[in-house]
């Protein structure tokens, strides 16, 4: 799994290093709801009826291209983009709290209309979680609405796969996030 994590993180680090000079750093802060299914085997984790529920927060630093200009009435512009991300966060419940760091790559469709801009994306992220530095992968689908000065409000949801957690269990998670972001 650590090789898979490296395969996710390395392209992000390379993409960040060779990012265009006109890329803009964007920071987002989000609240997280994470429902985890953890059992000694993948099969048992998939069949678990009641998840462990966690709440938390995440901060993400993304390096985006400048937004498309607003269009005249009756026209919409769109552009595909790859956006590297670095992230850190935590989740906790009444039994346990864990921090995590990670990196990812977001494939985004950025759009602009006469009054607003928006983005729709899928993202793959490699995570390192907790004191034991367990590897995990997160896959999400999200969207955001962009306001003036690249301020944005967004939502994303997806899945987290963690081959071994702090107790030696296999863990499947469903994650959702609401966030606000702005240009640094």
Ordered per-residue pLDDT tens for the chain, 184 residues: 555 445 554 555 455 444 456 899 999 999 999 999 988 888 888 788 899 999 999 999 999 999 999 999 999 999 999 999 999 999 999 999 999 999 999 999 999 999 999 999 999 999 999 988 999 999 999 999 999 889 999 999 999 999 988 888 899 999 999 999 999 8
Per residue, the 3-state secondary structure of the chain, as one string, reads CHHHHHHHHHHHHHHHHCCCCCCEEEEEEEEEEEEEEEECCHHHHHHCCCCEEEEEEEEEEEEECCCCCCCCCCCCEEEEEEEEEEEEEEEECCCCEEEEEEEEEEEEEEEECCCCEEEEEEEEEEEEECCCCEEEEEEEEEEEEECHHHCEEEEEEEEEEECCCCCCCEEEEEEEEEEEEEEC
We report the CATH number of the domain holding residue 84 as: 2.40.160.20
| Residue 29, domain extent | 2-183
Overall domain count for the chain: 1
């Amino acid at each position: 799994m650590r090789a898979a994590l490296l395969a996710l993180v390395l392209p992000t680090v390379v993409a960040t290093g060779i990012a265009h000079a006109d890329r803009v750093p964007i920071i987002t802060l989000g609240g997280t709801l994470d429902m985890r299914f953890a059992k000694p085997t993948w099969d048992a984790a998939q069949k678990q009826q009641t998840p462990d529920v966690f709440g938390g927060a995440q901060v993400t630093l993304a390096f985006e291209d400048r937004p498309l200009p607003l269009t005249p009435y009756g026209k919409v512009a769109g552009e595909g983009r790859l956006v590297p991300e670095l992230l850190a966060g935590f989740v906790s419940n009444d039994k346990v709290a864990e921090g995590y760091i990670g990196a990812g790559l977001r494939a985004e469709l950025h759009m602009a209309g006469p009054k607003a801009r928006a983005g729709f994306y899928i993202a793959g992220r490699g995570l390192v979680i907790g004191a034991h530095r367990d590897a995990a992968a997160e896959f999400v689908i999200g969207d955001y609405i962009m306001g003036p000065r690249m301020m944005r409000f967004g939502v994303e949801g997806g899945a987290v796969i963690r081959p071994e957690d702090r107790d030696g269990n296999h863990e499947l998670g469903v994650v959702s996030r609401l966030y606000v972001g702005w240009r640094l």
